Structure 1
Amino acid sequence: MSGTATDPDPGTTADKLSTPGARTRPGRLLARAAGGAAGLTVVAALLGLVRDQAIARLFGASHASDAFLIAWTVPEMAATLLIEDGMALLLVPAFSLALTRRAAGGHVQDPVRTLVADTLPRLSAALACAGGLLVWGAPWAVGVLAPGLDDPRLAVDCTRLTAVTVLTFGITGYFSAALRAHGRFLAPAGVYIAYNIGIIGMTLALHSVWGVRAAAAGVAVGSLLMVLTLLPTFVRLMPGRSGRRTVRGGGSALLGATVLAPVVLFVVSRQSQVFVERFLASSLPDGAISHLNYAQKVAQLPMVLSMMICTVTFPVVARALAAGDREGARRRVERDLALAGTVVLLGTAAVLGCAPRIVEVLFQRGAFDAADTAATAGVMRVYALGLLGHTLVGALCRPYFSAGRPTWYPLGAMGAGLLVTTAAGLLLTGPYGVEGIAAANAVGISTAALLMLLGLGTRAVAVRPGTVALSLARPVAAAGVAAAAGRLATDLVPGPVTGLAAGCLVVPLTFLLTGLVLRAPEAVHLLALIRQRFPHGR
């Protein structure tokens, strides 16, 4: 980890990139930061798989698992709004501005401390009230989310248990944004390790007494562990008092209603795709919501890893825009889109080629049978078609909100995508069931990604949509070839574990070789980053 407890500022990635002596190797610094954060993300993802395996083994795809997943909609929304996107999109630029003002000097009190004093207490109070309202209104919330449930009482109980995440995720997101703006990426990347440990521990310890309510209680316990994971580092980063008078404007101006509203509504509209899916699936037989969830949790792993690239570079883009370096911001965003797209397309190829084997190895045991495996694998393959769209939406929203200016265009693009998802879902759910819902998700998110890409150049960072499209065309072709090769390998090699191992070997090799044959520079760039992170002989 960079820095020390007594010297919180020097040595961070963001600061090193701001110094003249480090400009010759910013790519290496970012690669090291992304690599460290990605390592913890992989550990968290593996624990997430263990969590899902435990729930699948104990409760299968049933009314109980559906009830828990309906309640889990609350922390999923809270995580997107308060940790992953909303809070980061608001607070990273705000803390970046405060850090810039700190470096300029001339303030009676540290701008970072001022920003925290202005925002954290009020945010905590508002979130605590919102969580209390959710506990009281849980029956109404379940009725809106899943009106097709025959007996909503179990879902209501689980929703009340998970309501605490409205507060705890908000504090986690606040701490994470502050640390990332300071160039600290390891601790924020590790919060989901603590979260999953809490869920797994409570589920295994209490499922025989509380049933699926134990998993919901685990969500609450895990969210508290997230806060405790970040608290020591956050406290060390906060400077001591440097004066008696508080000077406003240390970055809190970027958190006004005109900036807050577009970000919050964008994140809500993005997460509403999940609401649409579960609303439609609640009218299908028991287990449909669970099949969607298991498929999404596994298929999204490549997207989570690819987004670490943009998470690490987001403070760099924000500082470039704050300093007026729009050309540098454009180059950074175009590189991020190409590299993140390449990473997620590799993962997409693996999911398309190996989905049945992946589900069989991960979940087929206990209450989760072969029929559940077949249904989940089919959904996973369809859902994977939208992974590039999901990644691009997550990557593109960051430059839109980096400058701290109010912009409503991302909300309009996401709203259009949501309308497409809803319309397609209504048309496809009847004849195709859960696979129709997954297809609607893929079409809707891809529509939103295209609209956001086309609008970015005139509203935030002057990226060139044609250049981005060309940089992704060759990895898309490579992913198609690799998916076909992976499917052939898993079919030819007998046994679930050996078949999956063969597919996991064939897919990346085919993807890389095809990318090199097609002269995709992103494949070469990806190899260079791997060599930087793991140099020969070390």
Structure 2
Amino acid sequence: MTTEQPLAAPPLTPHLPQQPTGDGGGPPAARRGFLAKAFGVTALLSAAGSALGLLRDLLLARYFGANQGTDAFLVAWTVPETAAPLLIEDAMAFLMVPAFSLALVLREEQPEGPDPVRQLVKATLPWMLLALSTLSAGAALGAPQLVELLAPGLADPELAVTCTRITAFTVLPFGVAGYLASALRAHHGFTAPATIYVAYNLGILALLLTCHQLWGVKSAALGVALGSLLMAGVLIVPFLGRLHSGKRRKAHRRGPVDRRLVLMPLAMLPVAAFTLTRQAQVFIERYLGSGLPPGTISHLNYATKVSQLAMTSAILVVTVTFPVVARALAAGDPTAARDRVEKDLGQASALVLMGTAFLMACAPSVVALLFQRGAFGAHDTAATAAVIRVYSFGLPAQALIGVMVRPYFSVRPVVRRADDPDTEDGGRRLLDWYPVAAMALGLLVTVAVGLAAAPRFGALALAAGNAAGITAAAALLLRGLLLRGIALRLPAVLGGQARLLAAALGAAALGAVAAALTANPLLSTLSGGVTVVLAFAALGAAFGAAEVRGPVLALARALSPRATRAAEGISSHGR
């Protein structure tokens, strides 16, 4: 166990009781029940959103295939693809979930006077709307230059410019949706935020289905704009309900203590820069892919969409637990935050490694089953499946980054208490930029691999550069989390990761054998997938991976409680 913390930050609010607060606090059993319910609701609605997103991609492939038209639309889709992680999934959440968590701690501690939550909204929402409107207008006006920068070798740049001007509108509603979703999650409200991608994809599907013959691929761009409006719309009423739900309780005043929240604008810069550098891998792929044969960008896009399905469950874990971590840090309890982060690292890795094993084993049959119809032919299937397998090497690192960066940015949120003077020295401020530096070094690896290998290996080289770069960045971020003052117990964490990786390798090998037994895409996917799941569960339990052994034992108890009790009795007697 390492205890080195040369730049460990002090607790943000040392005068508060060191215990989690809010709905996620209380006894461990109650907290687990809350997290389980939140995860269940989020998983169900997110699965519905993912299913609709998959249908969206199937229709894109069916109607438009993989050609210069879809390449043009996908370059335009770079705007919402960049805005979504920046304004919904990552940067906005990194900024606002810790900020609202601190405001909620103050609301509980200070039952009289101005509501800190409403104060935070008044201090942040107006300037955010102004900034988003400016960015949206700038992206639309600068569409020609943006297309030239992203894909200088594109076969149909005019179509890409038109689609980019349409998709530029999404910046404003995406930002509003991200802000409202962060506030709701900090309040431990997960249902409404989980519906946003259902609304988003319904908007896209509505225009794709009705207008694809009339407007061509531009119908997809218009659908993206409509879907972004629906995303923000479904959150407004729940947000207003939470905003006005704070009860003003009477309490004895302890003295003239200033508990206002003070906005720290500079804290936003490293968060935004990190998200942009993380998303820059897409820019690199589109830029280098535009000089390769037509359809390359489309193959990379379809491969990314399928590969990211393996990330869905892992992201759900940290989406639900992030407010718990942020609230613990806001209440001055870094130990609780560390314990939660260690659990998240194991659970997220278990989920994404099982998904990675499935993709390694079954990529050709999955792509054929999903996409091979209409304009999407056998050549496109083979090319996309090969890219998926290479991409999959970087999926575990993506999951780890998603877990690690959330508590990293929560240590120094975008607001602080007025009675907590900002006494951090320059070294700690410099640490705010550590994740940006880690991602920048990862991008250098991505560019180097892409430039060196793309002329010979094409899209496979770009996927390999992506995997290598994100893995390098994850290794650096693991070190940065320790420097930030969240003292992970590295031997235990790395040992758990190694056991899960060994189980995934074995499951992928056995799943590939099972998938090759039949040429039918559906049967191949089913046989390979079932084999991967069973093999991963058996090997993970055998290797002692707690994240696998726990669910396996729980399932065994449910199926055969008498045999399980007998086995546990024998084990206890032996001890």
TM-score by length of 1: 0.92
- Please give the residue correspondences for 1:58-97 in structure 2 after superposition, counting only pairs within 5 Å: 58-97=63-102
Q: Please show how residues 311-326 of structure 1 align to structure 2 within 5 Å.
A: 311-326=319-334
How many residue pairs end up in the alignment?
517
Shift of 1:158: 0.4
The 5-angstrom pairing of residues 125-204 of structure 1 reads 125-204=130-209
Deviations 1:405-427 (A, max 9, x none): 55111111111111111111111
SS at match of 1:462: coil
Q: Provide the residue aligned with 1:342 in structure 2.
A: 350
Secondary structure at 1:354 match in 2? helix
Which of 437, 440, 462 is the equivalent residue of 1:437? 462
- Partner residue, 2:512: 487
Residue 15 of structure 1: which of 2, 9, 22 is its match?
22
Q: Which residue is equivalent to 2:41?
A: 36
After superposition, what is the alpha-carbon deviation per residue over 1:51-98, rounded to whole angstroms, capped at 9, x for unaligned?
000000000000111111101110011000000000000000000010
1:123 aligns with 2:128: yes
CA contact (8 A) 1:417 1:445 kept: yes
Aligned-residue identity in percent: 48
Residue 257 of structure 1 and its aligned partner are, at CA, apart by 2.6
Distance in 1 between residues matched to 2:560 and 2:192, nearest whole Å: 24
Segments of 5+ residues of structure 2 without an aligned counterpart are 1-19, 249-256, 414-428, 562-575
- In the alignment, structure 1 residue 327 sits paired with structure 2 residue 335: yes
CA contact (8 A) 1:37 1:308 kept: yes
Alpha-carbon shift at residue 241 of structure 1 (Å): 10
**Equivalent residue number for residue 114 of structure 1:** 119
Alpha-carbon displacement from aligned partner over 1:110-157 (angstroms, at most 9, x marks no partner): 111111111112111111111011111000000111011133000000
Structure 1 residues 185 and 129 mapped into 2: Cα distance closer, same or farther (>3 Å)? same
Residue of structure 2 equivalent to 1:7: none
CA distance in 2, matches of 1:142, 1:535: 60
Cα distance, 1:496–1:14 mapped onto 2, change above 3 Å: farther
The 1:529–1:333 alpha-carbon spacing in structure 2 relative to 1, beyond 3 Å, is: farther
Alpha-carbon distance change, 441 to 532 in structure 1, aligned in 2, over 3 angstroms: farther
Rounded to whole Å, the distance in 1 between the matches of 2:435 and 2:462 is 23
Aligned mates of 1:175, 1:535 — CA distance in 2: 45
Matches of 1:211 and 1:393 in 2, distance apart? 38
Give 1:232-271 correspondences, 5 Å limit.
232-239=237-244, 251=261, 253=263, 256-271=264-279
**Per-residue displacement from partner, 1:291-346 (whole Å, max 9, x unpaired)?**
00000101111212111111111111111111221111111111110110111000
Structure 1 residue 460: Cα displacement: 3.5
Q: Distance in 1 between matches of 2:104 and 2:560?
A: 33
Number of the residue aligned with 2:401: 393
Does the CA-based 8 Å contact 2:204-2:227 persist in structure 1? yes
Counterpart amino acid of 2:30?
Answer: R
Distance verdict in 2 for CA 1:503–1:143, change over 3 Å: same
TM-superposed CA distance for 1:217, in Å, is 0.2
2:369 is aligned to 361
Map 1:491-502 → 2, pairs under 5 A: 491-502=516-527
Per the TM alignment, residue 529 of structure 1 is displaced from its structure 2 partner at its CA by: 8.0
Change (3 A) 1:295 1:216: same
* Deviation at residue 522 of structure 1 after TM alignment: 1.5
User: Does the CA-based 8 Å contact 1:180-1:188 persist in structure 2?
Assistant: yes
* 1:427 alignment partner in structure 2: 452
Classify 1:87/1:532 alpha carbon distance in 2 versus 1 (closer, same or farther; 3 Å).
Answer: farther
1:328 partner letter? A
Which amino acid letter does the alignment assign opposite residue 170 of structure 1?
A: G
1:249 CA displacement: 7.0
SS at match of 1:163: helix
- Could you tell me which residue of structure 2 aligns to residue 371 of structure 1? 379
RMSD across aligned positions (CA): 2.2
Residue in structure 1 matched with residue 299 of structure 2 by the alignment: 291
2:476 matched residue in structure 1? 451
Contact persistence 1:93–1:315 (CA under 8 A): yes
Secondary structure of the 2:456 match is helix
Aligned to 1:4: none
Report the Cα distance in structure 2 between the residues aligned to 1:122 and 1:292, rounded to whole angstroms: 37
Instruction: Tell me if the contact between 1:14 and 1:183 (Cα under 8 Å) persists in the aligned partners.
Output: no
Indicate yes or no: 2:511 matched with 1:477. no
Q: How far apart, CA to CA, are the structure 1 residues paired with 2:559 and 2:115?
A: 39
Amino acid corresponding to residue 17 of structure 1 in structure 2 = G
Separation (CA, whole Å) in 2 of partners of 1:386 and 1:275: 17
Query: Cα 1:397–1:241, aligned 2, differ >3 Å: closer, same or farther?
Result: closer
TM norm structure 2:
0.87
Residue identity matched to 1:471: G
CA distance in 2, matches of 1:533, 1:315: 31
Which deviates the most, 218-227 or 323-332?
323-332
Aligned partners of 1:31 and 1:532 also within 8 Å: no
Query: In structure 2, what is the Cα distance between the partners aligned to 1:74 and 1:531?
Result: 47
Correspondence for 1:8: none
Range with greater deviation from structure 2 (155-164 or 234-243):
234-243
Which residue of the other structure, out of 39, 47, 52, is the alignment partner of 1:47?
52
CA apart distance, 1:210: 0.8
- Contact kept, 8 Å, 1:145 with 1:278, in 2: the verdict is yes
Q: Which has the larger radius of gyration?
A: 2
SS at match of 1:366: coil
Q: Could you say if the C-alpha distance between residues 287 and 196 of structure 1 is closer, same or farther in structure 2, counting changes exceeding 3 Å?
A: same
In structure 1, what is the Cα distance between the partners aligned to 2:104 and 2:242?
A: 12
Please tell me the residue identity of whatever aligns with 1:409. Y
Q: C-alpha distance in 2, partners of 1:529/1:181?
A: 30
Asked whether the equivalents of residues 114 and 248 of structure 1 are also in contact (C-alpha less than 8 Å), the reply is no
Q: Which residue of 280, 289, 311 corresponds with 1:281? A: 289
Structure 1 residues 426-471: Cα deviation after superposition (integer angstroms, max 9, x where no partner)? 1111111001100000000000000101221121411133322111
Contact 1:31 1:533 in 2 (8 A): no
Alpha-carbon displacement from aligned partner over 1:143-186 (angstroms, at most 9, x marks no partner): 11101113300000000010111101000000000000000112
Q: Which residue of 2 aligns with 1:306?
A: 314
**Which shows bigger deviation, 107-116 or 446-455?**
107-116
Counterpart-to-counterpart distance in 2, 1:45 and 1:532:
31
Tell me the SS of whatever aligns to 2:373. Answer: coil
Whether the 8 Å CA contact 2:25–2:31 is kept in 1: the answer is no
Amino acid of the structure 2 residue aligned with 1:18: G
- In structure 2, how many angstroms separate the alpha carbons of the residues matched to 1:330 and 1:154? 49
User: What corresponds to 1:417 in structure 2?
Assistant: 442
Cα 1:185–1:510 change in 2 (3 A) is same
> How far off is 1:395 after superposition?
0.9
Distance 2:21 2:524 in 1: 43
1:526–1:121 CA distance, 2 compared to 1 (3 A): farther
1:535 CA drift (Å): 13
Segment drifting more, 89-98 vs 117-126: 117-126
Query: Which segments of 5 or more consecutive residues in structure 1 lack a partner in the other structure?
Result: 1-12
Q: Could you give the per-residue CA deviations for residues 11-68 of structure 1, whole angstroms, max 9, x where no partner exists?
A: xx9723323xx33432232122112201111111111110000000000000111111
Q: Cα gap change, 1:535/1:402 in structure 2, threshold over 3 Å: closer, same or farther?
A: farther
Question: Which amino acid letter does the alignment assign opposite residue 382 of structure 1?
Answer: V
Residue 254 of structure 2: aligned partner: none
User: What's the secondary structure of 1:492's corresponding residue?
Assistant: coil
